[in-house]
């Protein structure tokens, strides 16, 4: 049994990791840490765990955690992960970092996106961007996984097939909508139920920090630089991200042709579902699952391809994908604990 540590156990991603790992036959959660004032049994923090997991949770140093686990998930805020990840790596532990700290290849881009200097940039080089559909082979050999952001996951998976084939014009417009859990569990006025009645809004219009991550990955696959426009919105529900992606194609492409391209690209993937023409993605179809559903509508007359992707932001957009990465790194079946 692989021994697992979780730093940041009390956030949404941490809680979801616990939920998934409890059903995973090859691992055992051995140590839980979180920034809490006094040690507490995890059942006191998450009463739904009563009778299912009996483990203390406390504010532990990375050194203490490291001794009790083979692999650690860092479900920490940006800027905190980069301070602790190296400690685990140097102790020869596998690290899956759910923050943004090792996602961007270029420290200067990181600094611009997150307003802070990267303190352990020498580790960026060995970090692997944990999108299995793209980097599976590298993930197998990785020690440090930079688990993708929630918005980037759904958007990159939605754009790659036609982009990689060189079918697209440079402008890519992504209109994304996320449930509130994407903003984390930390109390904030705008996330209270009383403030969200009949409330739907855009935020960080084309200035969201995930844009650079999306651009980096799309440009990896595109001959000419991509022009990304990215507008995220907040939906008054707990989980799910739906991204409506507006692509212009260089030549006329029909829905059937587009579907064929996507099906081929993802034909060996367990967690990508290309939906038939008679149905459209809905975040509820992927809620609590690790699937990314993709729906496609082409309008060849105006050379427009509309791609809609849906994920559960806490699963394929965070903890589910993290476990998928763990499975790949550790030689487990990729879907273990995730179906």
**By C-beta, is 187 or 331 nearer to its own copies?**
187
Rounded Cα distance between 33 and 35, Å, is: 7
**By C-beta, is 144 or 180 nearer to its own copies?**
180
Query: Strands 144-146 and 128-129: what pairing?
Result: parallel
Beta carbons within 10 angstroms of residue 286's beta carbon: 28
The conformational region for residue 284 under phi > 0 = left, psi -120 to 50 = alpha, else beta, is: alpha
Rounded Cα distance between 154 and 255, Å, is: 20
**By C-beta, is 67 or 250 nearer to its own copies?**
250
CA distances (Å), origin 15, targets 12, 31, 154, 318, 321: 5, 13, 21, 11, 14
Answer yes or no: are the C-beta atoms of 205 and 173 closer than 8 Å: no
- Greatest CA span in the chain, whole angstroms? 63
Closest approach of its own copies to the CB of residue 238, in Å: 5
Answer yes or no: are the C-beta atoms of 240 and 179 closer than 8 Å: yes
Tokens found for residue 181: 């859990």
**By C-beta, is 189 or 331 nearer to its own copies?**
189
Query: Strands 292-299 and 304-311: what pairing?
Result: antiparallel
Closest approach of its own copies to the CB of residue 169, in Å: 11
Closest approach of its own copies to the CB of residue 121, in Å: 28
Backbone phi and psi for residue 297, each to the nearest 5 degrees, phi listed first:
-135, 120
**By C-beta, is 95 or 298 nearer to its own copies?**
298
**By C-beta, is 12 or 114 nearer to its own copies?**
12
> For residue 316, what is the DSSP state?
I
Contacts of 249 (CB under 8 A, 6+ apart): 162, 167, 168, 169, 298, 303, 304, 305
Closest approach of its own copies to the CB of residue 150, in Å: 14
Rounded Cα distance between 201 and 199, Å, is: 7
Tokens found for residue 209: 């920090």
Closest approach of its own copies to the CB of residue 243, in Å: 10
Q: Which residues are catalytic?
A: 150
Closest approach of its own copies to the CB of residue 78, in Å: 19
């Amino acid at each position: 049994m692989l021994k697992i540590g979780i730093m940041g156990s009390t956030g949404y991603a941490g809680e979801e990791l616990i939920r998934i790992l409890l059903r995973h036959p090859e691992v055992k959660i051995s140590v839980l840490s979180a920034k809490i004032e006094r040690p507490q049994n995890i059942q006191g923090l998450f009463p739904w765990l009563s009778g299912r997991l009996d483990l203390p949770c406390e504010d532990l140093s990375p050194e203490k955690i490291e001794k009790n686990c083979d692999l650690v998930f860092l479900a920490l805020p940006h800027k905190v992960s980069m301070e602790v990840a190296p400690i685990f790596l140097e102790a020869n532990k596998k690290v899956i970092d759910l923050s943004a700290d090792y996602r961007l290849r270029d420290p200067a881009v990181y600094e611009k996106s997150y307003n802070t200097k990267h303190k352990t940039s020498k580790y960026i080089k060995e970090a692997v961007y944990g999108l299995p559909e793209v980097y599976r082979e590298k993930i197998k050999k990785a020690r440090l996984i930079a688990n993708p952001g929630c918005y980037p996951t759904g958007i990159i998976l939605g754009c790659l097939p036609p982009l990689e084939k060189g079918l697209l014009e440079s402008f890519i417009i992504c209109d994304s909508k996320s449930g509130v859990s994407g903003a984390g569990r930390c109390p904030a006025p705008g996330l209270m139920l009383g403030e969200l009645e009949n409330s739907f809004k855009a935020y960080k219009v084309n200035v969201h920090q995930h844009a650079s991550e999306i651009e980096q990955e799309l440009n990896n696959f595109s001959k000419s630089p991509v022009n990304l426009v990215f507008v995220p919105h907040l939906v008054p529900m707990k989980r799910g991200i739906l991204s409506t992606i507006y692509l212009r194609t260089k030549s006329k492409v029909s829905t059937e042709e587009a579907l064929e391209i996507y099906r081929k690209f993802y034909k060996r993937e367990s967690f990508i579902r290309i939906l038939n023409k008679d149905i459209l993605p809905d975040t509820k179809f992927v809620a609590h699952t690790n699937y990314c559903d993709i729906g496609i509508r082409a309008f060849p007359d105006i050379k427009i391809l509309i791609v809609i992707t849906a994920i559960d932001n806490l699963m394929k957009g965070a903890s589910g994908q993290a476990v998928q990465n763990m499975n790949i790194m550790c030689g487990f079946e990729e879907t273990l604990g995730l179906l």
